[in-house]
Amino acid sequence: MAWNEPGKDDKKDQDPWQNSGKKKDQGPPDLDVVFQKISDLIGGLFGKKTSSGSSDKKGGGKFIAIIVAVLLAVVWFFSGIYTINESDRGVVLRFGAYHTQVEPGLHWNPKFIDKIIPVNVEAFRTMPTTGFMLTEDENIVRVAMEVQYRIIAPEKYLFSVTDADNSLLQALDSALRFVIGHSTMDDALTTGREVVRQETWEMLDKIIEPYNLGIEIVDVNLQQTRPPEQVKAAFDDAIAAQEDEERFVREAEAYQRSKEPIARGQVKRIELQAQAYSEGIVLKAQGEVARFNKLLPEYKANPEVTRQRIYIETMETVLSNTSKVLIDNKAGGNLTFLPLDKLMNKQATKPQSTSSSEIEIRSRADEKTDQDERATTSARFSSRSSGRDY
């Protein structure tokens, strides 16, 4: 019977925390008594009898069960608190099935009911592959390629296929072998490397699209393509020759770019000179026409005077650029002439700061030279000028 169960004698104090025979108004019990009572309660939970001889299994077991249940509930509640990092997304599984997706931050989930799988969606992952592959012209090359990707849909990445990374690796290997199999060995080793890279990327996207892997291809890098070791030296020489060819082409293009502006400038200069010459001739002709038009009325008014003036101006222009010789045809049998052009040139070439003695000596020398020239000329034409009038 419980200590607070109503009995026959309601006035009797049946409080288990007090000794029998003591009244309610007494002070608190000793610590030894309290510990003894707690020991009796724990023992009653396992069916033992208390020190008073009565079984306390029913009341004590209920009290302990409540305490244990509360403690378990508190532990269960606090164990459900978790944090998702900034770069992750949390995939929530409820009883093993996909339930929802949570964003970064502090969250709570019911323990033993939900399971949280964090997935990094910001990190760039790398998937390499390498191997010997057969080209279109039946040659073998060793190709190494690397693909970079990131996760964009965590739930698809986890549950669309058994292993998304392995599926991506198989798709990459398949796409690379397909592209290499449709390329020649020279293209794969030299100029066609970028084409192989682009075609492999496109083929990889097509392969993984139906599987919904939840990943995005960021970049595809063709690391190396090499021939087998037995023919490596010959292919290295071929690659070096192609590189030299490209270098020579670049040098020729640079030379062309340096010479072309100069040639264009010369062409432009010649065109401008020709245009200026053409305009000058046209303007000169127009000036001559205008001068003739002004001269025509004067000619009509006085033809003879105008004709004489034109003749004199023409002769002045012509004779100003020719050598002039003065001939005396009245000198008897000897022909005498005076080279005026030489005399004028000598006078023009004489220095301005010569002394009087030098001028006198040069005058005498010039006079003697003129006499010798006249004598020589007279002797030369003496035989020819007999009876002739020059």
Q: Which domains does the chain have, with CATH numbers?
A: 1-79 (no CATH), 82-120 (no CATH), 126-227 (3.30.479.30), 324-382 (no CATH)
DSSP H helical segments within the chain, as ranges? 31-45, 57-79, 154-159, 164-181, 185-189, 193-208, 232-301, 303-319, 340-349, 356-382
pLDDT tens per residue, range 271-288: 999 999 999 999 999 998
Q: Which two tokens stand for residue 339?
A: 């080279």
pLDDT tens per residue, range 223-248: 888 887 777 777 778 778 888 898 99
Does 9 have pLDDT greater than 70?
Answer: no
CB 225 within 8 A of CB 142: yes
Kindly state the DSSP code that residue 1 receives in the 8-state scheme.
-
Q: Which amino acid is at 284?
A: K
pTM of structure? 0.47
Range 170-173, long-range pairs (CB < 8 A, 24+ positions) = 171/204, 171/207, 171/208, 172/127, 172/129, 172/145, 172/147, 172/200, 172/204, 173/129, 173/131
Contacts for 305 with CB less than 8 Å, ≥ 6 apart: none
> Which has the minimum average pLDDT: 13-17, 97-101, 276-280, 318-322?
13-17
Cα–Cα dist 25/349, whole Å: 160
